[in-house]
Chains A and B, each alone.
Chain A
């Protein structure tokens, strides 16, 4: 039980770190990859909370397709965020 809680605490910490990385990166490609890592950790958390159905949907849509759409959008625009 305690091992389960420790794993869950690490995953939630990772979610926090990757979410902060997403909004602090100036390089948009890095931000997209950090968002993919966030989705993957969220899918792992769903699996630990015994919702494997939601975990597969989150891993497929969040980590796979959304990242692909972001990367295609970055290819069409600028890679680096401009300074205000």
Chain B
């Protein structure tokens, strides 16, 4: 499974099987998750991809969509 699928799967588990969203969708703006979930995303990305999310990375824009998170992980592992 590539990074993108792994991230999508994590969110899908959170929102439930029946909810559909695309990799470009802003999951916060759509109301699929509340802002508390942002931290779960940070911890998930750290644990799954071995990256360290620094204070300056803690910008909601990095975590708004599957695509944004995928780009962020790519940047951190480059």
A, B bound: no
Q: Which residues of A contact B (CB under 8 A)?
A: none
Q: Which residues of B contact A (CB under 8 A)?
A: none
